[in-house]
Structure 1
Amino acid sequence: MLTLAAPHWLLALPLIITVLWLSSRLSTQRPLRLPSLLHPQTRLLATLVTADHNRTARWPWWLGIALLCLALTRPLWIIGPTASGHPAHNIMLAIDVSGSMRTLDYQHDRQAISRLDMLKQQLPGFIARRAGDRIGIIAFADDAVTYVPLTTDHALLTGLLADLQQGLAGERTALGDAIALASHRLQHVDTSRILILLTDGANTAGRLSPLQALELCRQHHVRIYTVALGTAGKVAFPRGPVLPPLTTALPPDTALLQQIAASCGGRFFHITAQHTLDQAFAEIDHLEPGRVTDPSAARHHELFWLPLSSALLLLLWSEWRSRHQVLPC
């Protein structure tokens, strides 16, 4: 399928042609002083330069200008599937970066990893499967901040996710503020609004309680999936490079997270091992199937070089022709 990436450049074509036409008219009305060679058959040569010849001599120039405007519109040849026209999902990932996310209660390659590191390992796979969806990230601890606005640039999103660090916004957990911020970011989109809340703690900070924030989500029709991280038993909590880890219990507030999910039409998941997070994301994929074809599967070929090269050849030929044309004196 042939399409134009920047069709607005076609609007410039009439203006350019008008300016060039006026310029040529003014130039023909002024006497032109050029070095000339006197010839005994001057009148005979003058008859060779007819009005039709003058008109046809300019057509390569006009056509070249038109082709330049066409090149600026960036013609594209689309091959493969295109967007189906169905709306994409809008998904905000609210990620807890409070101090408790340093807790080492997950395993990767037989090594203990923190709750946040486990999320950073598993989330890219989920993001890759959400082709066509707009996804953003909210990081929250003492405060909730928009770490990545809603975007379809999943490569950029995954790169910024890898740089996410604990302590970005404090040590405590402002669940209510995170929910309220997600609701605010999603309220103006015109398709499905989804919040995935990934946390290991109870609400211990912030200006709004989770129940107050839930009212905003219900008003804006935001569906919430809650993912509780951590186990109920004792786990290792690192205390720096010198002190040994502290063995303590840091369980998530599963009752609150269940209530949040039930209040906004979502589901609750409790992640006790790394593989169960994959299962949770697979369940969300099933509940919220993608409704657009992957745009990356549709290949396109740039065709601007065809009118551009043709325009340059025509303009060069027109210039060469004007320089080598024999005119009567």
Structure 2
Amino acid sequence: MLENIEFANPQFFWLLLLLPLALVWYVIKYHKDTPSVKMSSLKGFKITASFLTKLKPLLYILRLLALAALITALARPQTKDVSTKTKTTKGIDIVMAIDVSSSMLAKDLQPSRLSALKKVAAEFIADRPNDRIGLVVYAGESFTKTPITSDKSIVLNALSEIKNGIIEDGTAIGMGLATAVNRLKDSKAKSKVIILLTDGVNTAGAIEPQTAAGLAVEFGIKTYTIGIGTNGNALTPIAYNFDGSFRYGYRKVEIDENLLKSIAKETGGKYFRATNNKKLEQIYDEINKLEKTEIEEFKYTRYEEKFRPVALLAFGLILLELLLKYTVFRSFI
């Protein structure tokens, strides 16, 4: 109970330092006011100790307790109930454009580039509860997997379904970027962001990446670009086996970093290179920090005053002192 009590005017507790001084003053005054009679002998007198005489200091103790209670009441004990309400004041709409070409099955990231990306992207989506997110996938062509939505369960479910082979193979970076721009161009959000990820060079598509970047600039869309793949050679699908599965072999990793840097710079974003799983996680963490959603917090505080019972206790002690003073102890005062 006491741990929930706060005091609005705690400075009044300094007055409690006067109580020990008042007690010392009473002891000194009590001894001075007590009369003494010197006699040569007490023979012939019946000595009886009065119980009420010994209890007389109780009156002063009651007065001190009353003063202590009044000081506590002046300090205004109270309980405080705080309720919080948050309001998103600046929402962000984000579209993640994901390369699903066969090279995304390379095993330089574990268990593959695409699997590693899906895991990290899912964590990124879960960390953005106040934003709307959409998904675009591209290879030789591109399409919208999920329009921008605030329902994260829909986005996460769609992300889990992404796999290689759902569209024609290739790397149409311009098409992937243009489709993402198309999903965001009519957005009323204060901030619009595309996260474009690829592991290769633009080899397909009817729209050039530079043209798509110009569209992003026109609609005020910032683009973060990520090149995924190790430096050097990676174990990559190079052909099909008779059963339709991929045959793997080592192939040099080629990422058009100049293009990705150019897109990011032109749109006001930033380019990143993910060479392993840990680096990919760090990149999405950094983007998460760069694109902060502004949230306004309102706090409502309700105070409940508790000084009244303490004040009543003080007046009760004073009345008790007066009652005892003019009744039980009347003949001793």
TM bracket (short chain): 0.5 to 0.7
Give, in angstroms, the shift of residue 169 of structure 1. 1.7
Query: Match for 1:278: what amino acid?
Result: E
The aligned counterpart of 1:309 is none
Distance between the aligned counterparts of 1:80 and 1:232, measured in 2? Answer: 52
The aligned counterpart of 1:224 is 223
Say whether 1:106 aligns with 2:106.
Answer: no
SS at match of 1:245: strand
TM-aligned CA distance change 1:102 to 1:293, over 3 Å: farther
TM-aligned CA distance change 1:215 to 1:163, over 3 Å: same
C-alpha distance after superposition, 1:128-178 (max 9, x if no partner): 111110000000011110001101111221122111111222110111111
The aligned counterpart of 1:181 is 179
Give, in angstroms, the shift of residue 82 of structure 1. 4.6
C-alpha distance after superposition, 1:246-285 (max 9, x if no partner): 1111321111111111111001110001011111111112
Match of 2:87 among 81, 84, 87: 84
Query: Match for 2:263: what amino acid?
Result: I
**Largest Rg, 1 or 2:** 2
Higher strand proportion: 2
On the 8 A contact 1:131/1:292 being kept in 2, the answer is no
Give, in angstroms, the shift of residue 221 of structure 1. 0.3
On the 8 A contact 1:92/1:138 being kept in 2, the answer is yes
Query: Match for 1:126: what amino acid?
Result: F
Query: Match for 2:218: what amino acid?
Result: Q
TM-aligned CA distance change 1:81 to 1:227, over 3 Å: farther
Distance between the aligned counterparts of 1:275 and 1:220, measured in 2? Answer: 33
Say whether 1:215 aligns with 2:218.
Answer: no
On the 8 A contact 2:90/2:293 being kept in 1, the answer is no
SS at match of 2:281: helix
On the 8 A contact 1:136/1:149 being kept in 2, the answer is yes
Identity of aligned residues (%): 34
The aligned counterpart of 1:132 is 130
Distance between the aligned counterparts of 1:121 and 1:212, measured in 2? Answer: 31
C-alpha distance after superposition, 1:219-247 (max 9, x if no partner): 10000000100023111123457775211
Query: Match for 2:122: what amino acid?
Result: P
The aligned counterpart of 1:158 is 156
Give, in angstroms, the shift of residue 290 of structure 1. 2.1
Distance between the aligned counterparts of 2:154 and 2:296, measured in 1? Answer: 20
Query: Match for 1:203: what amino acid?
Result: N
SS at match of 1:289: coil
Say whether 1:204 aligns with 2:203.
Answer: yes
Stretch of structure 1 that moved more, 230-239 or 166-175: 230-239
Distance between the aligned counterparts of 1:82 and 1:147, measured in 2? Answer: 34
The aligned counterpart of 1:250 is 253
Distance between the aligned counterparts of 2:283 and 2:263, measured in 1? Answer: 17
TM-score by length of 2: 0.60
TM-score by length of 1: 0.61
On the 8 A contact 2:142/2:179 being kept in 1, the answer is yes
Query: Match for 1:229: what amino acid?
Result: I
Query: Match for 1:234: what amino acid?
Result: N
TM-aligned CA distance change 1:150 to 1:243, over 3 Å: closer
Distance between the aligned counterparts of 2:168 and 2:255, measured in 1? Answer: 18
TM-aligned CA distance change 1:260 to 1:80, over 3 Å: farther
> Unpaired runs of 5+ in structure 2?
1-81, 298-333
TM-aligned CA distance change 1:167 to 1:293, over 3 Å: farther
C-alpha distance after superposition, 1:18-52 (max 9, x if no partner): xxxxxxxxxxxxxxxxxxxxxxxxxxxxxxxxxxx
Distance between the aligned counterparts of 1:181 and 1:167, measured in 2? Answer: 19
On the 8 A contact 2:88/2:296 being kept in 1, the answer is no
TM-aligned CA distance change 1:80 to 1:244, over 3 Å: farther
The aligned counterpart of 2:193 is 194
Distance between the aligned counterparts of 1:173 and 1:284, measured in 2? Answer: 24
The aligned counterpart of 1:311 is none
Coordinate RMSD, CA, aligned: 2.0
The aligned counterpart of 1:55 is none
**Count of residue pairs the alignment pairs up:** 211
